A = this chain, B = another copy of it.
Amino acid sequence: MSAIPDLSSISEAHERVSPFIHRTPVFSCKSLNAVAGANLYFKCENFQKIGAFKARGGMNAVLSLSAAERSKGVATHSSGNHAQAVALAARENGIPAFIVMPSNSAEVKKAAVLGYGAELIECEPTLQAREDTLQRVIEETGAILIHPYDDYRIIEGQATAAKELIEDTDVIFDYLLAPVGGGGLLSGTSLAAHYLSPTTSVIGCEPAGADDAYRSFKSGELIPQTNPTTIADGLRTSLGKKPFEIIKKYVGDIVLAEDKEIIAGMQMIWERMKIIIESSSAVPFAALLKNKDRFQGKNVGIIISGGNVDVNKLPF
């Protein structure tokens, strides 16, 4: 696929993945509305399979493969949610998955990938080693690479979260907020809003310590992230080319939040909403509180991207 996904390709992706994923609930919370001075609607992808929205894109990418491609299996490198997403999608499709993970990945994440029946290939914990190892695995097995975000099939899949949020809520959103790391979720969210709720402005929310999307968006040129320093570990990655192309066209703005604001927002959501969200998922709420005037009295949808947290190592 070589063109930006249109509405029918997103709708087809949604039909394709729906039997395999959860239609997650939309939560509201009076006390957080009072804190924010806005009407907030949280799309709870922390309740999604594998605990994160990445199940959507991974599933769509694998389901989009031809029979010939599927027969060879799929491969990726990831230390996080994308690894589990690809492993789950492969299992559901009865095909092999080869997952390259840095040797210092959390044992619980390795166990999850193995639990889905994937083949785990460990490598040195450097980006170079990850890419080299993945390349070798693909050459040896013929497996198809499933990139975590620089892929229209992934973007289509991630778009289905915002599509459901728009369909399942009886308000017109003034804003939709999503975190941005590689850009798969944000670009998909902006496409869903563009096609299904064109008066809605989509805003990307990024940690100040990994602000490449912000700088790229403001300058119009893709600026890679070097040395990210943020607690939001899901958002340290560099923005991808295909997501950036979409974000430039369809995203209204990108705003930043500091780590201490992210941690405070995360704790507030835990305490008031009684749901477990990962730090990356707190970035939109933190950014909203930092820019309260802008969102005053507005209807704001927020994608809660995931809930995979080590509860023994909390930042508060």
* Residues of chain B with a CB closer than 8 A to A252's CB: none
Q: Does A198 make an interface contact (CB < 8 A)?
A: no
Q: Does A58 make an interface contact (CB < 8 A)?
A: no
Given the complex of chains A and B, what is the CA–CA distance between A275 and B312 in angstroms?
Answer: 15
In the assembled complex, the CB of A150 is this many whole angstroms from the nearest CB of chain B, namely 28
* Residues of chain B with a CB closer than 8 A to A270's CB: 276, 311
* Residues of chain B with a CB closer than 8 A to A46's CB: 274
Q: A255-281: which residues lie under 8 A (CB-CB) from chain B? A: 267, 270-271, 273-277
A316 to B311, Cβ gap below 8 A?
A: yes
A274 to B51, Cβ gap below 8 A?
A: yes
Closest to A306 in B: B274
Q: A11-65: which residues lie under 8 A (CB-CB) from chain B? A: 25, 27, 46-47, 51
* Residues of chain B with a CB closer than 8 A to A274's CB: 46-47, 51, 275-277, 307
A271 to B311, Cβ gap below 8 A?
A: yes
Q: Does A314 make an interface contact (CB < 8 A)?
A: yes
Given the complex of chains A and B, what is the CA–CA distance between A245 and B311 in angstroms?
Answer: 41
Given the complex of chains A and B, what is the CA–CA distance between A270 and B25 in angstroms?
Answer: 17
Closest to A276 in B: B274
Query: What is the total number of copies of this protein in its complex?
Result: 2
From B25, B276, B277, B316, A25 is in contact (CB under 8 Å) with B25
Given the complex of chains A and B, what is the CA–CA distance between A311 and B273 in angstroms?
Answer: 13
Given the complex of chains A and B, what is the CA–CA distance between A276 and B47 in angstroms?
Answer: 12
Closest to A25 in B: B25
In the assembled complex, the CB of A189 is this many whole angstroms from the nearest CB of chain B, namely 21
Interface string of A160-176 (1 = CB under 8 A from B): 00000000000000000
In the assembled complex, the CB of A270 is this many whole angstroms from the nearest CB of chain B, namely 5
* Residues of chain B with a CB closer than 8 A to A275's CB: 274-276
Given the complex of chains A and B, what is the CA–CA distance between A25 and B314 in angstroms?
Answer: 27
* Residues of chain B with a CB closer than 8 A to A277's CB: 274
A314 to B316, Cβ gap below 8 A?
A: no
* Residues of chain B with a CB closer than 8 A to A276's CB: 270, 274-276
Given contacts A275-B274, A276-B270, contact A312 B307 (CB under 8 A): no
* Residues of chain B with a CB closer than 8 A to A307's CB: 274
In the assembled complex, the CB of A232 is this many whole angstroms from the nearest CB of chain B, namely 17
* Residues of chain B with a CB closer than 8 A to A316's CB: 311-312
* 7 A-B pairs with C-beta separation under 8 A: A27-B47, A47-B273, A274-B275, A274-B276, A275-B276, A276-B276, A311-B316
A binding-site residues for B, Cβ under 8 Å: 25, 27, 46-47, 51, 267, 270-271, 273-277, 307, 311-312, 314, 316
Which 3 pairs show the lowest CB-CB distances between chains A and B?
A: A274-B307, A274-B276, A46-B274
